[in-house]
């Protein structure tokens, strides 16, 4: 199991004031909802509403002094697909909302968030969100029983859809001393997360009622005096000096930016010559020519660029983990524009990402926008992109250096490859997508042949298909060239690829690191380690599999995230499995990779010995946990994959 300390959890990368302001304006309603949910319910609904708006509006940095980060966050984890400006403002909002729940102490100077908000202010009215039903009332009561960090954990999990590791990172960045305890508190509210987006908790859609009219009349003069004082203070704050004054050479807020506008002009799109890849020192997406029947449709290209920069609420947008979904940093490269099935599709590349825009042929309603990281691509990983996807089928746009394309059923190792047709632009005919819901009776993969080798690619639900290889981590071989034995090995592993869908996977390697004669002459079992590496570098998944001789599919006996096992840096591996012999006896089996000198088991079973294979008979049906350890040839102790 992966253990991450709070010290290891970095915060989002520094952002400038303009970037933070743009994120605040774009996501204002969501940030106010986050603040409202984290603020203590004891404030009352009216004050919670105003405080939530005040917290968000105070979340912009003022200015930065040289050599001082002004409280700006540190480095952002690359797997965080959240826009850095939004991530920074969200941390500021959470920190202030948590501060507002701290009790006032006589011995400590109060923090700004602990005091009533100066702005915004509403006179003569009480504001509160629309009332919900019994479920929303129950959720509000459950949240009120939690601490501030516990409510923040619920919001990050349920509203922001963050995993536990990311929740711990954000809570630590917001100043929570014990993020794990906050997550433990949130566990009891998990079943009600779907209600967090209801109108009951929307402080931007409000109802209004009058305040106490008699008290308001008595204190009218005091209110006018306070308003006059606020106006004077606001005027003073606007004077030049060390306060909030002019921004120097910065352009006014929301000014037209020539560089940003140039990136959205179809006339500035980069178009690569058709034969550029033949002369280039690099063979990747940067040398793909612009193809498709609609590359000259300026209105389509303009719409695609505009939606990329400013996706509306009706646009279905997706991004692989670690892929920033923001606008282009400059004029991107046009890869494709044409009609695919019942849609008009445009593919771009900006050096870091592949971006796909799709709209229906009969209009622009229901447009889709997809982002995928493709930095560091080579001729193998840049051999194809998904250009069209329906419920059960997928079409690929192949690279200009791809000479032949075929398909093969990965589940059936005896099935031969079958040719796949392409049109003049390099778009394949529809193929059955393994992403489509099925019982995994078939798994079609794409085989592309260039001038030097044949690569095997598979669709994992993203723009960039993943490359499949076989063999030791130091020298993996493309599956298409690995031979019949590797295909038979992959036949039992293919259905396990569903465990790494939509994770930004770049390549998957399957390694048969050991074979073991089973007790009672029950045949020979195989031990496999399957490693899925991502485009972003982090977020890898490692599966340890046990293939019994009579089973068609391997059993996953261990799964690890962010582990170097079975990789180039750390090819060593140790895995174990419980196995029942045909006669009914139970055994603890274990196997290590090359370099493992001995294996031992303790706990519910005890045994060990030299060599990298182990089989220990259990006294009965296994009922206790066991611990598996090993020693390398140099004496280093290793633990089993888990």
Residue written as tokens 């969200």? 90
Residue written as tokens 């949130």? 186
Q: Print the SS3 string covering 110-174.
A: CCHHHCCCCCCCCCCEEEEECCCCHHHHHHHHHHHCCCHHHHHHHHHHHHCCCCHHHHHHHHHHC
> Is 255 part of a structural domain of the chain?
no
Two tokens, residue 424: 């003049």
| CB environment 401-417: b (16+ within 10 A), e (fewer) | bbeebbbbbbbebeeeb
> Is 467 part of a structural domain of the chain?
no
- Cα distance from N-terminal residue to C-terminal residue, the chain: 6
Last residue of a domain, one of 174, 196, 211: 211
Sign of the Cα pseudo-torsion (230, 236, 241, 244, in order): positive
Task: Domain of residue 582: give its range.
Answer: 572-642
pTM over 0.85: no
22-36, 200-214, 223-237 — which is least confidently predicted?
Answer: 223-237
- How far is the C-alpha of 347 from the C-alpha of 395, rounded, in Å? 13
Number of domains in the chain: 3
Write out pLDDT tens, residues 389-434: 987 899 999 999 999 999 999 999 988 899 999 999 999 999 998 8
DSSP structure class, residue 270: B
Mean pLDDT of 330-346: 95
> Is 435 part of a structural domain of the chain?
no
Last residue of a domain, one of 357, 377, 397: 377
> Is 72 part of a structural domain of the chain?
yes
> Is 482 part of a structural domain of the chain?
no
Which CA distances in Å does 322 have to 353, 358, 370, 503, 612?
11, 22, 13, 9, 38
> Is 581 part of a structural domain of the chain?
yes
Residue written as tokens 């009672």? 520
Computed over every residue of the chain, the mean pLDDT equals: 83
Q: Do 67 and 201 reside in the same domain of the chain? A: yes
- How far is the C-alpha of 369 from the C-alpha of 306, rounded, in Å? 11
At 603 the three-state DSSP class reads strand
> Percent of the chain having pLDDT more than 70?
82
Q: Do 106 and 181 reside in the same domain of the chain? A: yes
Q: Do 275 and 203 reside in the same domain of the chain? A: no
Two tokens, residue 270: 């980069």
Q: Where residue 264 falls among pLDDT bands split at 50, 70, 90? A: confident
Sign of the Cα pseudo-torsion (234, 236, 240, 243, in order): negative
- Whether the predicted pLDDT of 5 surpasses 70: no
> Percent of the chain having pLDDT more than 90?
48
Q: Where residue 205 falls among pLDDT bands split at 50, 70, 90? A: confident
Q: Do 31 and 179 reside in the same domain of the chain? A: yes
The interaxial angle of helices 84-100 and 45-57, nearest 10 deg, is 140
> Is 430 part of a structural domain of the chain?
no
Q: Do 195 and 288 reside in the same domain of the chain? A: no
Write out pLDDT tens, residues 145-174: 888 898 999 999 888 888 889 999 999 999
Mean pLDDT of 185-199: 81
Choose between 39 and 105: higher pLDDT. 39
467 close to 510: Cβ distance less than 8 angstroms: no
Two tokens, residue 421: 């047709």
- Whether the predicted pLDDT of 123 surpasses 80: no
- Whether the predicted pLDDT of 6 surpasses 50: no
Q: Do 284 and 187 reside in the same domain of the chain? A: no
Which range of 29-33, 203-207, 364-368 scores highest in mean pLDDT? It is: 29-33
Q: The domain spanning residue 612 has which CATH number?
A: 2.60.40
46 close to 53: Cβ distance less than 8 angstroms: no
Residue 337: count other Cβ atoms within 10 Å of its Cβ: 25
> Is 370 part of a structural domain of the chain?
yes
- Whether the predicted pLDDT of 59 surpasses 60: yes
Q: What is the DSSP string of 12-60?
A: PPP--HHHHHHHHHHTHHHHHHHHHHHS-GGG-HHHHHHHHHHHHHT-S
DSSP element (H, E) containing 264: none
Two tokens, residue 587: 């055994």
- Whether the predicted pLDDT of 62 surpasses 60: yes
Last residue of a domain, one of 360, 377, 394: 377
Write out pLDDT tens, residues 497-541: 999 998 999 999 999 999 999 998 899 999 999 999 999 999 999
559 close to 530: Cβ distance less than 8 angstroms: no
Write out pLDDT tens, residues 301-314: 999 999 998 888 88
Write out pLDDT tens, residues 222-240: 556 566 656 655 554 444 4
At 570 the three-state DSSP class reads strand
Instruction: Quote the Cα angle for 633-635-640, to 5°.
Output: 85
Mean pLDDT of 27-33: 91
Q: Which pLDDT score, from 0 to 100, does residue 120 have?
A: 75
């Amino acid at each position: 199991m992966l253990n991450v300390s709070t010290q290891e959890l970095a915060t989002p990368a520094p952002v400038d004031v303009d970037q933070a302001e743009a994120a605040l304006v774009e996501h204002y309603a969501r940030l106010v909802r986050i603040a409202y949910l984290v603020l203590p319910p004891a404030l009352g609904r009216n004050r919670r509403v105003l405080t939530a708006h005040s917290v968000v509006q105070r979340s912009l940095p003022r200015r930065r002094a040289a050599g001082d980060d002004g409280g700006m966050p540190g480095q952002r984890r690359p797997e965080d697909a959240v826009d850095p400006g939004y991530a920074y403002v969200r941390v500021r909002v959470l920190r202030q909302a948590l501060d507002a729940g701290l009790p006032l102490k006589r011995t400590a100077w109060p923090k700004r968030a602990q005091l009533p908000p100066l702005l915004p202010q509403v006179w003569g009215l009480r504001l509160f969100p629309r009332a919900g039903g019994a479920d929303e009332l129950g959720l509000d009561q459950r949240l009120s029983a939690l601490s501030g960090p516990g409510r923040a954990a619920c919001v990050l999990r349920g509203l922001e859809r963050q995993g536990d590791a990311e929740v711990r990172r954000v809570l630590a960045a917001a100043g929570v001393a014990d993020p794990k305890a906050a997550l433990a508190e949130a566990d009891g509210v998990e079943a009600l997360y779907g209600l967090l987006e209801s109108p009951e908790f929307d402080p931007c859609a409000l109802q209004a009622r009058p305040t106490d009219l008699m008290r308001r009349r008595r204190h009218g003069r005091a209110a006018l005096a306070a308003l006059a004082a606020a106006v004077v203070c606001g005027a003073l704050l606007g004077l030049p000096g060390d306060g909030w004054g002019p921004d120097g050479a910065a352009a006014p807020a929301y000014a037209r930016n020539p560089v940003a506008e140039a990136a959205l002009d179809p006339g500035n799109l980069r178009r690569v010559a058709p034969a550029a890849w033949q002369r280039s020192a690099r063979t990747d997406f940067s040398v793909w020519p612009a193809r498709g029947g609609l590359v000259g449709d300026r209105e389509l290209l303009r719409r695609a660029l505009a939606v990329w920069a400013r996706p509306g609420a009706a646009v279905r947008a997706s991004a692989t983990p670690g892929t920033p979904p923001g606008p282009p940093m400059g004029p991107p490269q046009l890869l494709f524009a044409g009609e695919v099935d019942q849609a008009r599709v445009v593919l771009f590349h900006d050096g870091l990402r592949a971006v796909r825009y799709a709209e229906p042929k009969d209009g622009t309603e229901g447009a889709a926008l997809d982002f995928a990281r493709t930095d560091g691509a080579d001729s193998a990983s840049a051999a194809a992109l998904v250009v069209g996807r329906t419920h059960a089928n997928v079409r690929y746009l192949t690279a200009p250096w791809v000479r032949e394309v075929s398909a093969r059923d990965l589940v059936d190792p005896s099935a031969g490859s079958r040719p796949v047709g392409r049109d003049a632009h390099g778009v394949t005919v529809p193929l059955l997508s393994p992403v489509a819901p099925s019982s995994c009776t078939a798994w079609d993969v794409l085989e592309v042949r260039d001038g030097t080798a044949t690569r095997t690619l598979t669709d994992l639900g993203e723009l960039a298909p993943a490359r499949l290889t076989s063999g030791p981590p130091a020298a993996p071989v493309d599956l298409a060239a690995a031979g019949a034995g590797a295909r038979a090995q992959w036949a039992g592993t293919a259905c396990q690829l569903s465990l790494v869908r939509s994770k930004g996977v770049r390549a998957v390697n399957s390694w048969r690191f050991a074979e073991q004669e089973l007790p009672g002459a029950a045949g020979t079992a195989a031990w496999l380690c399957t490693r899925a590496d991502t485009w972003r570098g982090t977020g890898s998944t490692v599966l340890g599999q046990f293939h019994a001789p009579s089973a068609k599919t391997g059993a996953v006996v261990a799964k690890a995230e962010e582990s170097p096992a079975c990789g180039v840096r750390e090819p060593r591996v140790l895995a174990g499995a419980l196995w029942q012999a045909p006669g009914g006896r139970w055994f603890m089996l274990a196997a290590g990779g090359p370099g493992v000198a001995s294996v031992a088991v303790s706990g519910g079973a005890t045994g060990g010995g030299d060599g990298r294979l182990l089989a220990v008979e259990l006294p009965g049906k296994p009922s206790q946990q066991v611990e598996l350890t090993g020693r390398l040839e140099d004496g280093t102790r290793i633990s089993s994959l888990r």
